[in-house]
Amino acid sequence: MTDIGLIAIGAGLAIGLAALATGLAQAKIGAAAIGAILEKPESFGTVLILLVIPETLVIFGFTVAVLILFALK
Amino acid sequence: MIEPMAKVRLISPRHLVDGVTATLQEIGVLHIESTPSEAIRIPLSPYVMDEAARQRRVALDRLREELRRLLLLLPEISPGEWRGARPSRPELTEEGLARLIQVVREVGSRVDEASARLKACEEELALLSKYEKALVALTPFLSFIQESEELDHLGVTLEEKGGDRHLLGVLHEMMAKMTHNRYELFHARLDERSLVVLMIFPKAVSSKIRSLLWEEGITELQLPVSVADKPLGQALRIILQKKAELPIQASRHRQDLKDLALQWRQVLAQSSDAVLCCLEQIDATAYFYQTKMASFIYGWVPRRSLAGMSGRIGAEFGGKAVIEECPIDPKEWRTIPVVLRNSGVLRPFETLTRLIALPVYGSIDPTPYLAVFFPLFYGMILGDVGYGLLLLAGAAIVRRRYVDTPIVRDLAAIFLVASATTVLFGVLYGELFGKLGEYVGLRPSLNRMEAFIPFLAVSIAIGTLHVALGIALGAWSAWWRGDRQECVAKLGGLLLVVTFVALIASVANLLPRTWVTAETAVLLSSLTIIFIFGGVRGAMELHNLVNVLSYLRLMGIGIASVALAFAANKLGGMVGNVFLAVAIAGTLHAINFVFGILSPTIQSLRLHYVEFFENFFAPGGRPYKPFRHLHPAPPFRG
């Protein structure tokens, strides 16, 4: 396999695994969030914060992927 | 900004409590304090209603329930139907209340009569509709039913269970045997599984046939109670007649109710409003305190409204009621009601602050910062001239259509500003529905699809600025509270973030490499300051380094958005047919546009709520709820 191929796989893994982890975390938070909002609609703002916190993972994954692609190529 | 508040005490003679309460409700600026610190410090006697006031409250409560019931029974009146003059709001003096109770009683009995008649009609119609099928099936045979001294008739329903379709045959056999073939059977299908059968036979065998049917488990046709004692033919004719007459009667009763509504609804609505207003006043007296001669109440007033309120009270009671400002106990700070007051273009952004929580009194209102950075981040992420113009048009339409709905109007105003920044960044990126900008002469100053690294650096720089501003506000807030140690720790945190980012920039050759040693020294110093002055709490300052990296989403989400726009154009371009290409590209752009509204909104809000607010925002402010009439009567449409 060429170096470019390995770099591409590395970049894909960086964002793919981060996205998977974000998805798993958000699935659990999302389910609880719906329950919380139904019980207490005014908690929407707080729940929104909790829901989007794991997204940082995928952003970091994306950044690492970009750095892999551009710094190593 | 958070409106400065004043704590006040209103003192008046005890006999003026009712008048003072009514005036306070009219002025509508006093947030009544239910548990003032004075009441905890000094034992104060709560104001006690006298017997007459208690009875008046009971009477008003009953009247409110009765008025609510009548307003539910009377139909709504459309704006064009009301022709009368505007009814005046009744004065609820002792005589006025007695008169109103009398009027409500009289109108109530008329409304009850009319609605009882209507209800009876509707119930009977509903009951008769249950016989609809049997009635329709038997109507063709009504001419065969004659009242006779020799012949009797009977209706039965036959259920064909389990595919057994021989019941009719069995019935024929039974009738032939019992009547020696002197009978007639007419049948019609009710539904897939049941038949209705009309049987005519000699009266002499009537009782035998009925008992045989009972033994065989064949059910006679059940008729409404009102006609159950009538022969079947007569009963059916009565039912048919009623079915024709009842809708006319119901419509007449409905009209009676409508006439009553036209005459009384507005009067009752005004009365209900006056009664509610009066009840609110009586309930507010529960927050008064009393001495032998005087009564007093504590509350909070926006400082700018204090002079007006004092003047009004003075003018109304000629110096017998006085408002005086009280010193604020430091323990009360967190309980001071909060009013956000921002002017012009900043005001709609208060909605975004309230979405998370009100800041406590004395802390910083983040609304002005949200008004600057939210549209900036939104525009940076979406950054497309086409999407920006679409958003601008949508927000303008929504703002005009929902001018009476404050929250929607405010959100539309926010998106108007955000759409403007989207267009500006679109010009900077040279994007119009993705790459189509090239065809209209848009030249990118910063190409997001190619200049990843510069865009990454810009995102980090903006993140550093935003987080540093948050820390600076936190330091100022700590200084203002008198917490010098936290203030210095925050300043150490500020230094840490700035030098950390500068160090990375130097390592990446974005800043001179020679600065690395100095930057490392400052970094270590800032860490020392944080731990000396912040202690264990200071460790939280380190979290700001991660917070800065979180701003990479400005780049990440933006690139995802533009990649989708490019994909839409590319897929459209791959189809040979022009119309199909436009349809495909249009659909994908529409999807991207919807994501484009949601995703930048959520991400921009998150950067504020999590990364920015963390350093200074103190949630948990008590909302300002002034004592004023809460249930204004519906607008009069004469």
Question: Does residue B452 sit at the A interface (CB-CB below 8 Å)?
Answer: yes
Average pLDDT, chain A: 85
Q: What percent of chain B has pLDDT over 90?
A: 21
User: Sorting pLDDT into bands at 50, 70 and 90, what band is B579?
Assistant: confident
What would the pLDDT profile of B247-295 be if each residue is shown by its tens digit? 898 899 999 899 888 888 888 888 998 899 999 998 888 888 888 888 8
Poorest-confidence range of A26-40, B436-450, B505-519, B563-577? B563-577
Confirm if B188 and B196 have CB atoms less than 8 A apart.
yes
Q: How far is A66 from chain B (nearest CA, A)?
A: 7
On the CB side of B285, CA atoms within 13 Å amount to 25
pLDDT reading at B638 higher than 50: no
From chain A, pick out residues whose CB is under 8 angstroms from the CB of B609: 45, 48-49
Confirm if B155 and B198 have CB atoms less than 8 A apart.
yes
Is the reported ipTM for this assembly greater than 0.85? Answer: no
From chain B, pick out residues whose CB is under 8 angstroms from the CB of A60: 549, 552
Residue B170 CA, chain-centre distance (Å), reads 64
User: Closest to A49 (Cβ–Cβ): which among B553, B556, B610?
Assistant: B610
Quote the domain boundaries for residue A22: 3-72
* Separation between Cα atoms, residue B272 and residue B287, nearest integer Å: 24
From chain B, pick out residues whose CB is under 8 angstroms from the CB of A44: 355
- Write the DSSP assignment of B410-456 as a string of letters: HHHHHHHHHHHHHHHHHHHHT-BTTBGGGGGT---SS-TTT-HHHHH
From chain B, pick out residues whose CB is under 8 angstroms from the CB of A59: 550, 552-553, 556-557
Q: Of chain B residues 588-607, which have a CB less than 8 A from chain A?
A: 602-603, 605-606
Arithmetic mean of pLDDT, B184-192: 80
Q: What is the pLDDT of residue B464?
A: 93
Q: What is the 3-state secondary structure (H, E, C) of B175-223?
A: HHHHHCCCCEEEEEEEECCEEEEEEEEEHHHHHHHHHHHHHHCCEECCC
- Write the DSSP assignment of B217-272 as a string of letters: TPEEPP--GGGTTS-HHHHHHHHHHHHHHHHHHHHHHHHHHHHHHHHHHHHHHHHH
Arithmetic mean of pLDDT, B44-56: 84
Structure tokens at B635: 């607008």
- Sign for the pseudo-dihedral over CA of B582, B584, B587, B589: negative
What would the pLDDT profile of B376-417 be if each residue is shown by its tens digit? 999 999 888 988 999 999 999 998 998 888 889 999 999 999
From chain B, pick out residues whose CB is under 8 angstroms from the CB of A58: 556
CATH of the domain at A46: 1.20.20.10
Domain count within chain A: 1
Structural domains of chain B ordered from first start: 132-222 (3.30.70.2750)
* Separation between Cα atoms, residue A45 and residue B619, nearest integer Å: 12
What would the pLDDT profile of B60-78 be if each residue is shown by its tens digit? 999 999 999 999 999 888 7
Beta-bridge mates of residue B198: B155, B186
Highest mean pLDDT among B41-45, B415-419, B613-617: B415-419
Q: What is the pLDDT of residue B635?
A: 47
Structure tokens at B41: 């410090």
pLDDT reading at B502 higher than 60: yes
pLDDT reading at A32 higher than 60: yes
Q: Which amino acid is at A62?
A: F
On the CB side of B413, CA atoms within 13 Å amount to 18
User: Closest to B609 (Cβ–Cβ): which among A49, A55, A66?
Assistant: A49
What would the pLDDT profile of B289-300 be if each residue is shown by its tens digit? 888 888 889 999
Q: Answer whether A59 sits within 8 Å of B552, measured CB to CB.
A: yes
Q: Look at strands B622-623 and B337-338 and give their pairing.
A: parallel
What would the pLDDT profile of B97-113 be if each residue is shown by its tens digit? 888 899 999 999 999 99
Beta-bridge mates of residue B154: B199
Poorest-confidence range of B200-209, B244-253, B419-428? B200-209
What would the pLDDT profile of B557-570 be if each residue is shown by its tens digit? 888 777 777 777 77
Residue with the larger pLDDT of the pair A36 and B215: A36
- Write the DSSP assignment of B113-155 as a string of letters: HHHHHHHHHHHHHHHHHTTHHHHHHHGGGGGG----SSEEEEE
pLDDT reading at B165 higher than 70: no
- CA closest to A67 among chain B residues: B453
Confirm if B348 and B370 have CB atoms less than 8 A apart.
no
pTM of the predicted model as reported, rounded to 2 decimal places: 0.72
Q: What is the pLDDT of residue A17?
A: 94
Query: What's the angle, vertex CA B381, arms to CA A51 and CA B593, rounded to 5?
Result: 85
pLDDT reading at A38 higher than 70: yes
Q: Of chain B residues 210-239, which have a CB less than 8 A from chain A?
A: none
pLDDT reading at B637 higher than 70: no
